[in-house]
Chain A
Amino acid sequence: MYIAAYMKKPALTVRPETTIAEVKSLLASKHFRHLPVVDENGRLLGMVTDRDVRSAYPSSVATGKQNKDEMLKVSQSPVCEIMSWDVVFLSPYATLDDALILLDRQKVGALPVVDADRTVIGIFSIRDLIRAYTSLFGLGERGSALVAVKADGKPRPLTRIVHVLEEHDIHFSRVIRTRGDSAAVQNDTITIRVNTMNLRAVHQALEEAGFTIDAMRPESFKNTIPHA
């Protein structure tokens, strides 16, 4: 669950005096959108993004000498003129949940990962987060299905579900409890991603433990085939 296992490392970094033109070509050639900017010891100073670079240049539609001069000026300017200085970062001991909250709160696409003395050791993007959760949730892998049960109002439903699944040697990768539209516990739904085709065995085990299987039928789906 630690981001250290999912971040990109080592991170490609630039120095503040690197020109905007160099940064632009670096971002384009590596298909990156974020670059940490570091001092001579590799310590984090800030971040520069492809959006910073794009906004720095004049419109590509505009022509004329003035525009050309402007382009040249931007290209030769150091990246410290456009970078963000006051950036939030992650420690390698941050969890995926920490990263999710921070990426969402900061509204950024990637965060630098630094060690105790602020040396940049990696970068963690939304894309890395999606990949990490996809794998942790067992999505996209061949061999899983989703089963949902209604909470029965009795104590410790999650414990009982996990217990019954493990008792029956039913592998699963995710158990999520979602609140119903009222405060009543009976309206909660618990969805489980199971790694088996034998749903009959799963249903039977859960029913024996007192749960009702939720057929998960969309309440009012239109009678049409979804389009790709």
Chain B
Amino acid sequence: MFRPFVFIEHPSFLEHDTGGGLHPEVPARVALIRQRLEHGSLASSMTVRLPKESVRADLLAIHDESYLFRLEEACLAGQTSIDHPDNQISYESFDVAQVAAASGMTAIDLLETGQASSVFCSVRPPGHHAERSRALGFCFLNNVAIAARYWQKAYQRQKIFIIDWDAHHGNGIQSAFERDKEVFYASIHEHPTFSFPGTGYAEDRGEETGRGATLNVPLPPGAGDEMLLEAIRTKIAPAIEAFQPEALIVAAGFDGHRDDDMSGLMYSTAVYQELGRIMRHWGECCQGRVVSILEGGYHLEALAASVEAYLVGLVGFETGEK
């Protein structure tokens, strides 16, 4: 028995131009995901939806207005990057980033109104490194953090659990919620001493009233499926069980794949199917309220294959290829 799922994307995601050259965060990422899914085992059960318009107030829940103006101006003025040469922008980037941010909120609307039972947002630019007033690591607006606040505000789901298994620590999500006990941020990533952005030590457990609602599990370079699953089983699962969330947001990054040269992690494609299964199982504990939002993943073929594997696990359509 499989459940149909909604795939959110927008043509404008192809228009955020990172300048060519060696920049890994390229439009082909989402194009290839779409292509792979359309020709794969999930094609018949997939509904594609566009994100709604973003609302300024929802962005302001996470970002400073002065930063939004600064970002918009940088794009419109023809700047090629903001805050660091990593963060390449083009004329369209501010608009595209807003569409990406609106995708998670659209996913929440679809789940809450019963129009979907499973949603994946195939967005770019990614978001989890974006800070309140600073672009970082290819990220401009923090898509996941914005979605979490929206879920609280629009549907009164107060207790949100964010699980981030991108290879890199989501510093922006952590700093948005480290003083908040209602939004739990859990991340499994390559150890900060080796890996960008250099945050996410296991000692960081949240601040003040949010103490205990942040959980970082750093893995050594070379860690593979076994360590990832052990981290989930021994660290994340008990945390989610104790927290009893009303909704789950997955910061779904695929750059921990062994073929991806943006991290030293060595995950297989197959482990993403297992991750999908685990996310589905956790989602069942909060009435299926699970939204997955794409973060990293830079080896194009591995990314597309891993997303497909993840979705096969997530929607419970297990007959797909491994």
Contact = CB atoms under 8 A, between A and B. Distances in A.
Contact of B197 (A142, A224, A225): A142
Nearest to A225: B231
Contact of A144 (B24, B129, B197, B203): B197
A215 B22 contact: no
- Do most interface residues of chain A lie in helix, strand or loop, or is the interface mixed? loop
Contacts of B198: 139-145
A146 B203 CA distance: 20
A196 interface: yes
A227 interface: yes
Interface string A40-51: 000000000000
Nearest to B218: A226
B24 A198 contact: yes
B127 interface: no
A166 to B, nearest CB: 13
B132 to A, nearest CB: 12
B230 A145 contact: no
B86 A197 contact: yes
A47 to B, nearest CB: 33
A215 B136 CA distance: 24
B222 A218 contact: yes
Interface string A184-226: 0000000000011111110110000000000111100101111
B282 interface: no
Contacts of B171: 142
B196 A225 contact: no
Interface in A154-198: 169, 195-198
A62 interface: no
Contacts of A145: 194-198
A39 to B, nearest CB: 45
A197 B220 contact: no
B193 interface: yes
B203 A228 contact: yes
A140 B217 CA distance: 17
Residue among A145, A200, A223 with most chain B CB within 10 A: A145
A196 B84 contact: yes
Nearest to A146: B194
Interface centre among A195, A221, A224, A228, by most B CB within 10 Å?
A228
A192 B237 CA distance: 36
B157 interface: no
A31 B177 CA distance: 32
Given A142-B136, A144-B197, A197-B86, A225 B227 contact: yes
A174 to B, nearest CB: 12
Contacts of A224: 230
A216 B264 contact: yes
B264 A144 contact: no
Given A144-B196, A228-B202, A215 B261 contact: no
Given A197-B138, A200-B262, 11 more contacts: A142-B131, A143-B136, A145-B194, A145-B198, A197-B86, A197-B197, A200-B22, A215-B222, A216-B194, A221-B220, A225-B231
Pairs of residues from A and B, 9 with the lowest C-beta to C-beta distance, nearest first: A217-B222, A228-B202, A197-B137, A145-B196, A201-B22, A197-B196, A144-B198, A142-B197, A146-B194
13 contacts: A143-B198, A144-B198, A196-B84, A198-B24, A200-B22, A215-B222, A216-B264, A217-B221, A223-B230, A225-B230, A225-B235, A226-B218, A228-B201
